[in-house]
Structure 1
Amino acid sequence: MTEPTITQLQAMPDDWQRALAVVAHPDDLEYGCSAAIAAWTDAGREVAYVLATRGEAGIDTLEPEKCAPLREREQRAGAARVGVTTVEFLDHKDGVIEYGTALRRDIAAAIRRHRPELVITLNHRDTWGGVAWNTPDHVAVGRATLDAAGDAGNRWIFPELIEQGLQPWNGVRWVAVAGSSTPTHAVEATTGLERAVHSLLEHRTYIEVLTDEDPETYVRGFLTENARTTGARFGGKPAVAFELFGR
Structure 2
Amino acid sequence: MTDPQITQLQPLPEDWQRALAVVAHPDDLEYGCSAAIAAWTDAGREVAYVLATRGEAGIDSLDPATCGPLREREQRAGAAVVGVTTVEFLGHRDGVIEYGTALRRDIAAAIRRHRPELVLTLNHRDTWGDASWNTPDHVAVGRATLDAAADAGNRWIFPELTDQGLEPFGGVRWVAVAGSSRPTHAVDARPGLERAVRSLLEHRSYLEALTDQDPETYARAFLTTRTTATAERFGGIPAVAFEVFTR
Pairwise same-fold verdict (TM > 0.5): yes
Q: Aligned runs of 1:29-40 on 2, under 5 Å?
A: 29-40=29-40
Distance 1:120 1:132 in 2: 22
Shift of 1:217: 0.3
Distance 1:43 1:132 in 2: 35
The equivalent of 1:202 in structure 2 is 202
The equivalent of 1:110 in structure 2 is 110
Distance 1:39 1:188 in 2: 8
Q: What amino acid does structure 2 have at the position aligned with 1:58? A: G
Distance 1:56 1:238 in 2: 33
The equivalent of 2:135 in structure 1 is 135
The equivalent of 1:191 in structure 2 is 191
Secondary structure of 1:19's counterpart equals: strand
Shift of 1:240: 0.2
Distance 2:231 2:40 in 1: 18
Secondary structure of 2:104's counterpart equals: helix
Distance 1:78 1:92 in 2: 21
Shift of 1:4: 7.6
Secondary structure of 1:243's counterpart equals: strand
Secondary structure of 2:120's counterpart equals: strand
Q: What amino acid does structure 2 have at the position aligned with 1:12? A: L
Give % identity.
82
Q: What amino acid does structure 2 have at the position aligned with 1:146? A: L
**CA displacement, residues 134-171 of structure 1 (integer Å, 9 cap, x when unaligned):** 00000000000000000000000000000000000000
Secondary structure of 1:119's counterpart equals: strand
Distance 1:130 1:165 in 2: 44
Q: What amino acid does structure 1 have at the position aligned with 2:26? A: P
Distance 1:4 1:209 in 2: 42
The equivalent of 1:227 in structure 2 is 227
Distance 1:199 1:93 in 2: 24
- The reply to whether residue 152 of structure 1 matches residue 135 of structure 2 is no
Where in structure 1 are there 5+ consecutive unaligned residues?
Answer: none
Q: What amino acid does structure 2 have at the position aligned with 1:108? A: A
Q: Aligned runs of 1:168-187 on 2, under 5 Å?
A: 168-187=168-187
Distance 1:70 1:4 in 2: 47
Distance 1:8 1:101 in 2: 37
Distance 1:107 1:113 in 2: 10
**CA displacement, residues 108-156 of structure 1 (integer Å, 9 cap, x when unaligned):** 0000000000000000000000110000000000000000000000000
Where in structure 2 are there 5+ consecutive unaligned residues?
Answer: none
Distance 1:126 1:232 in 2: 25
TM-score by length of 1: 0.98
**CA displacement, residues 51-110 of structure 1 (integer Å, 9 cap, x when unaligned):** 000000000000000000000000000000000000000000000000000000000000
Secondary structure of 2:29's counterpart equals: helix
The equivalent of 2:59 in structure 1 is 59
Give aligned pairs, total.
245
- The reply to whether residue 101 of structure 1 matches residue 101 of structure 2 is yes
Secondary structure of 1:191's counterpart equals: helix
- The reply to whether residue 90 of structure 1 matches residue 93 of structure 2 is no
Secondary structure of 2:154's counterpart equals: coil
Q: CA RMSD in A?
A: 0.7
The equivalent of 2:217 in structure 1 is 217
Secondary structure of 2:191's counterpart equals: coil
4+ runs deviating over 6 angstroms: none
Distance 1:52 1:67 in 2: 15
Distance 1:196 1:41 in 2: 13
Shift of 1:214: 0.5
Secondary structure of 1:192's counterpart equals: helix
